[in-house]
């Protein structure tokens, strides 16, 4: 993963459904511990319940390793190397980013290969479960925050989900126990209108139906408004100067894992995956004389000239769930296939 990748993936391109993040992570100021106090983490069997699913020192080592290997993989666009420290939805998106490197400008390639580092780390460690989170800022862009999730995959901790933030409202603080540990919430447990595991499908409904089904129960936020607008524009105007229709179809994410934390105000913070197909189809009246020409990105991912082009997008987002409302506060997408 690269901070540059997130910006690049959100840059407007033909055929791409793009939604920007709009939040600042309060977690970066109130996690379960920072690098500076990692050395004081309790050790030994008697302290197992006090250190949670992983000790702070061990969590720091995991993030240090990820940071180092991620920079090496970015420099060489080495997806196999990246897979040793990254998995889940994050890897599904990032390996596609590597595949699209031939379409980048020389300036973008240079920026992508430049190493970057996670600063001001705050570790959010649940008392129980298999995963932990880290809030941090980037050495490239100190005012932007990221929340990274590390979970066990193939017997080791890997970074499996990340959500960047540029500006906007802060996320709520996590609920912490007497030992400074967070509470992981069952993704299937309903909080108000949704369970954390249901938010991704509701968000994708905004693309598929404009929010006629589950999406109508999401609170109005910038990502929700932008997704609904994309649906309205596609329905009204299609694509390719009106000679083709553009429709969206829900799809199962590459990794369906959802991560949720109890917040200090009693709500839940959820990080969730999303996915959909975008179909561009030449209208029947034009099919004898017109065809779609793929963009550079679409061609690189496998698309050819013809009457239909289907783009596959994988994404990840963040939402705050309370008894009163479900607010999707951040969303990022990556095109991963085209045919």
pLDDT tens track for 49-108: 577 999 999 999 999 999 999 999 999 999 999 999 999 999 999 999 999 999 999 999
Structure-token pair, residue 33: 């511990």
140-159 pLDDT, tens per residue?
765 578 899 999 998 999 99
What span, in angstroms and rounded, lies between the C-alpha atoms of 100 and 190? 38
Nearest to 324 by CA among 265, 264, 284: 265
CB 260 within 8 A of CB 184: yes
pTM: 0.87
pLDDT in tens, 115-144: 989 998 999 999 999 999 999 888 876 557
Mean pLDDT throughout 230-242?
96
Q: What share of residues in the chain are helix, strand, coil (percent, to 5)? A: 35, 30, 35
pLDDT the model gives residue 32: 56
Check whether 30 has a pLDDT greater than 80.
no
Largest CA distance in the chain: 75
Q: Which of 188, 26, 38, 17 is nearest to 125 (CA)?
A: 38
Cβ partners under 8 Å of residue 185, min gap 6:
191, 196, 260, 261, 262, 268
Of the chain, the end-to-end C-alpha distance in Å amounts to 25
Whether residue 182 contacts residue 127, with contact meaning beta carbons closer than 8 Å, is answered with yes
Report, as an integer, the average pLDDT of 28-41.
47
């Amino acid at each position: 993963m690269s901070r540059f990748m997130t910006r690049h993936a959100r840059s407007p391109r033909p055929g791409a459904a793009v939604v920007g993040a709009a939040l600042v992570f309060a977690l970066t100021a109130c996690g379960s511990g920072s690098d500076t106090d990692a050395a004081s983490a309790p050790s030994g069997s008697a302290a197992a319940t006090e250190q949670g699913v992983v000790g702070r020192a061990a969590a720091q080592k995991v993030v240090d390793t990820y940071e180092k290997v991620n920079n090496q993989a970015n420099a060489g666009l080495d997806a196999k190397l990246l897979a040793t420290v990254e998995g889940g939805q994050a890897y599904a998106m990032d390996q596609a980013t590597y595949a699209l490197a031939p379409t980048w400008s020389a300036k973008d390639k240079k920026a992508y290969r430049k190493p970057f580092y996670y600063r001001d780390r705050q570790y959010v460690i649940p008392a129980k479960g298999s995963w932990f989170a880290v809030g941090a800022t980037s050495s490239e862009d100190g005012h932007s925050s990221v929340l990274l999730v590390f979970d066990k995959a193939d017997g080791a901790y890997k970074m499996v989900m990340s959500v960047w933030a540029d500006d906007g409202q802060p996320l709520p603080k996590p609920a912490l126990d007497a030992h400074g540990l967070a509470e992981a919430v069952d993704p299937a447990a309903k909080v108000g209108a949704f369970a954390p595991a249901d938010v991704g499908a509701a968000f994708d409904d905004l693309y598929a139906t404009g929010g006629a089904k589950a999406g109508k129960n999401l609170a109005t936020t910038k990502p929700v408004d932008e997704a609904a607008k994309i649906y309205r524009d596609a329905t009204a105007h299609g694509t390719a100067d009106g000679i083709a229709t553009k429709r969206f179809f829900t799809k199962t994410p590459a990794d369906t894992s959802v991560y949720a934390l109890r917040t200090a105000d009693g709500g839940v913070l959820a990080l969730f995956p999303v996915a959909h197909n975008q179909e561009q189809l030449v209208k029947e009246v034009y099919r004898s004389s017109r065809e779609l020409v793929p963009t550079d990105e679409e061609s690189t991912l496998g698309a050819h000239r013809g009457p239909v082009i289907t783009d596959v997008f994988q994404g990840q987002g963040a939402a705050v769930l309370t008894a009163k409302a479900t607010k999707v506060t951040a969303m990022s997408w990556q095109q991963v296939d085209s045919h």
